[in-house]
Amino acid sequence: MSVEVVTHPQFIEKKIPENNLVQEFINKLESKSETSALHLEKRKVQLVSRLFNKVREKLSVTKLVTAPSQLKVRKNNEDLTKTQGERVVYQSEGERSVLTRSLRKELHDILVGTPKKEKAQRREILDRAHELDRIGAEFLKQSEVAVDLGEYGEQKSRFTVLHAPEHKRELNLPPVVLIGGISNDLDPVAGLAQALAESGRDVIVIAYPESTLGSITPKFAENCAADPGFTAHAEYFRQAIESIKAHIDVDLSSFELWSHSTGGPITAQMLKDPSFQAQVKNAVMLSPAAAVDQSMLKFGTGVLKEIARDIKPEKFALLTRYSLVMGRRESKDLQAKEKGAVFGSLLTAIRKRYPSWTSVSAQEGGKTVFYSGGKDTLTYTGQAPELGTGENQYRIDQEDGSHLTALVQPRTVISKVDAILHPEVTHDFLLN
């Protein structure tokens, strides 16, 4: 086993250009005589410009792209020396991520709306902002875990560790291991992972080996392509968790296993191993894939419906909470063909109903919670009534929830889940 150091892909901010056409028109109007008609037209354009800027502000004024990892090592700094057998992490010197800036803006809006005489309440809001900064910075401290799968060779992927706020340690919530959606890097579940940490949990997030920043062998790809299913990934993540245990400061002798989308059937497969199951205190499956049988046409149509629903103007503010890493433009992934084959095998597997949802369970006495969004047109969990009907299983139905609700409104979902897992805990989230 080895834990290798990697850096987070640098965040490159590209400012959305100013609306130059609008400004040029305003300048032309100002150079002409101010007739009442021209003055009226000028006012209209100014209003349009202000509206445009408001939208830009809501979208955090930036666009996120990923670039190749670039690490500047100062040779005279021994702390930045790579070593074998221990976890070494390089601190990213980049600015706050788009997600963190978006959340801080929402907190800023709350602060502005809080009367200045309410000093204690305003102080608390500022403390929350600083805590989000700390957790957001931790998320960018990413390492790489290597897992030897015998005849299939060594596969690698990113992982990161987040720590609960000190003042929430008294809640005694178990740590969480989080596995995201199909072939994902860490970024897509950043919002959920950081909200889980904010709730009072230590969180370990592990990416897929075939993700953009992961590494796989041709034999692993061949195995997945020949036998589409979840067994290979279940074994990878199970061994990755065991490998990571010795290299972090979080006790994973007992933990909660959370997953989103394709992570659902993968974790269900992992829980079939009795020795692993005994370590899992509770299991949470958010919008799990493979809930129903789907044709490729139904699946593709569902994707389009989900996108159309999530790009509406009233949801603009939530778009900055989700990041989908689709590859680095500056470099060609030499494993693209193999990774595409693994992605394709999972895409085939998730369009078939997982046959044993009702038997999925955590350790003895533990709970298994399924979250279903009523408007989820990717996994159609609303059409899978058996989810949550097994022994010690529970189900949460959110009528207006979509496939991404758990990722873009994680605090709302966490509160619903914890009402079942930890009814003694009441969260005081300021955001959703």
- Residues 233-247 have pLDDT tens digits of 999 999 999 999 989
pLDDT at residue 15, as a whole number: 36
For the chain, domains (ranges, CATH) are 17-58 (no CATH), 129-421 (3.40.50.1820)
Q: Rounded to whole angstroms, how far apart are CA atoms 170 and 181?
A: 31
pLDDT at 112: 81
Give 295's contacts (C-beta < 8 A, 6+ positions apart): 351
C-alpha distances in Å from residue 104, one per residue of 12, 109, 136, 159, 409: 19, 9, 11, 25, 15
Please give the average per-residue pLDDT across 157-175, as a whole number. 95
Residues in the chain: 432
Best-predicted range by mean pLDDT (38-47, 80-89, 307-316, 319-328): 307-316
The answer to whether residues 381 and 387 touch, using CB atoms and an 8 Å cutoff, is yes
Which residue spans within 265-306 are E strands per DSSP? 280-286
Q: Give the mean pLDDT of the chain.
A: 79
Note the pLDDT tens digit of each residue in 322-352.
666 555 554 566 788 899 999 999 999 999 9
- The b/e string for 8-36 (b: 16+ C-beta within 10 A; e otherwise) is bbbbeeeeeeebeebeebbeebeeeeeee
- The answer to whether 222 and 247 have CB atoms below 8 angstroms apart is no
Averaged pLDDT, 33-57: 49
Q: Please, are residues 157 and 208 in contact by the beta-carbon 8 Å criterion?
A: yes
Taking only the tens place, the pLDDT of each residue in 358-413 is: 999 999 999 999 999 999 999 999 999 999 999 999 999 999 899 989 998 999 99
Q: Is residue 182 over pLDDT 50?
A: yes
Sheet (strand 2-5) strand order: 2-5, 142-148, 154-162, 203-206, 176-179, 255-260, 280-286, 368-373, 393-398
What CA–CA distances, in Å, run from 285 to 77, 97, 181, 191, 388? Answer: 43, 27, 11, 16, 10
Poorest-confidence range of 1-5, 102-106, 374-378? Answer: 1-5
What pLDDT, on a 0 to 100 scale, did the predictor assign at position 429?
78
Give the separation between CA 108 and CA 125, rounded to whole angstroms.
Answer: 8
More confident residue, 245 or 116: 245
pTM for this predicted structure:
0.77
As a whole number, mean pLDDT of residues 268-283 equals 97
In angstroms, rounded to a whole number, what is the distance separating the alpha carbons of residues 409 and 320? 11
Lowest mean pLDDT segment, chosen from 170-174, 269-273, 303-307: 303-307
State the chain's maximal CA–CA distance in angstroms. Answer: 83
pLDDT-derived band at 114, boundaries 50, 70, 90: confident
pLDDT classification of 17: cutoffs 50, 70, 90: very low
As a whole number of angstroms, the distance between CA 230 and CA 3 comes to 24
Highest mean pLDDT range out of 45-59, 288-302, 306-320?
288-302
Which CA distances in Å does 137 have to 62, 211, 385?
A: 19, 22, 40
